[in-house]
Structure 1
Amino acid sequence: MLSGTSEHQQGEIRYRRITAIWKAALCLLFLVLCILLLGVIFSGKTESVEKIYYPMAAILGMWMVGPFFFMFLNRSIQREAVLVSWDKHSLRAGQRDIPWNQIRKIELAAPARSKWQLSASPMYALYLKDGTRIHIHTDHLFGKKKLQASLSILQNSLQEHQGPDAGSPSP
């Protein structure tokens, strides 16, 4: 759910908890299959060639999917399904509050694979006026349309809160 209201100068970008739950369930299923594959090897029901391929497939599968399982599990059990929220003073991402007047621009960043060849999730990059950059990871919870729509909401909120009358009270 995307929401942003210029009347109240506050809003939030939420993810669907059910998305995190079903993605965690799919990862868990894959991890269970990897463990079953290792069980087949240890039970001695494999041929000599399979004793080479099955452990490699199981270990690679756990290595590639394991981090995603814990990422989705973490998102599914969080108290609130809010990725980013804001008010007229600051933008909040997790436990971090960033005042609007410190943010120079907000962009969508799609990082390359990590050095361990794990897929990195798209993220919002907040470029601060002091030259630092803060990343807000989306953890693969949004599709392309929602990523773009939420980026647009964040950028519009930044413009509203940094406009010429952003600090003055409304009549």
Structure 2
Amino acid sequence: MLPATSEHQQGEIRYRRMTAIWKGSLCFLFLVLCVLLLWVIVAGQTESVEKIYYPMAAVLGMWMVGPFFFMFWTRSIQRVSILVSWDNHSLHAGKRDIPWNQIRKIELANPARSKWQLSASPMYALFLKDGTRVHIHTDHLFGKKELQSSLSILQKSLQEHQEFDPD
């Protein structure tokens, strides 16, 4: 779900809770498969070569998918499914409030990998006038069209607020 804007310059960008639920469910099923691989070894139903490959596959699978399961799970149980909201004075992202007059530009950033070789989610990068950046992670909850659409809405809102309140 995308924006709910009005003449009062208020709006929000929401994610679909069902997206978090089904992606979390897929991650959960994969984690169950990893546990089953370990169980096959404990039950003693493997050959000697499989005792090497199954635990490696299970541990790597848990390493790669486990963080995504918890990320999607926390997003699916959150009371409010708002990723970003704003009013006339500031942009609200999680517990951070960033005044419009401090934001220089907003772009979409796609990091290649995290430091632990996990897939990093696309994020909105807010470039502030003091030279710092604030990242708003999308947690893989939007498709490409939704990312671009919500980015253009954020950029349009920034432009409107900069015209309304120039520095």
Same fold (TM > 0.5) = yes
- The two structures have a TM-score, normalised by structure 1, of 0.95
RMSD across aligned C-alpha pairs, in angstroms?
A: 1.1
- 1:130-149 aligned at under 5 Å gives the runs 130-149=130-149
Q: Are positions 1:17 and 2:17 aligned together?
A: yes
Unaligned runs of 5+ in 1: none
Aligned to 2:38: 38
Structure 1 residue identity aligned to 2:57? A
| Shift, 1:87, TM fit | 0.4
Equivalent residue pairs, number: 166
| Shift, 1:167, TM fit | 3.9
Retained in 1: the 8 A contact 2:38–2:58? yes
Retained in 1: the 8 A contact 2:9–2:88? yes
Unaligned runs of 5+ in 2: none
In 1, Cα distance between equivalents of 2:114 and 2:3: 32
- 1:44-63 aligned at under 5 Å gives the runs 44-63=44-63
Q: Are positions 1:123 and 2:123 aligned together?
A: yes
Aligned to 2:95: 95
| Shift, 1:5, TM fit | 2.6
| Shift, 1:24, TM fit | 0.7
**Residues 5-24 of structure 1: CA deviation (Å, up to 9, x unaligned):** 35120000000001001111
**Residues 39-78 of structure 1: CA deviation (Å, up to 9, x unaligned):** 0001110001100100000000000000000000010011
- The two structures have a TM-score, normalised by structure 2, of 0.97
Aligned to 1:105: 105
In 2, Cα distance between equivalents of 1:72 and 1:132: 28
Q: Identity over aligned residues, as a percent?
A: 82
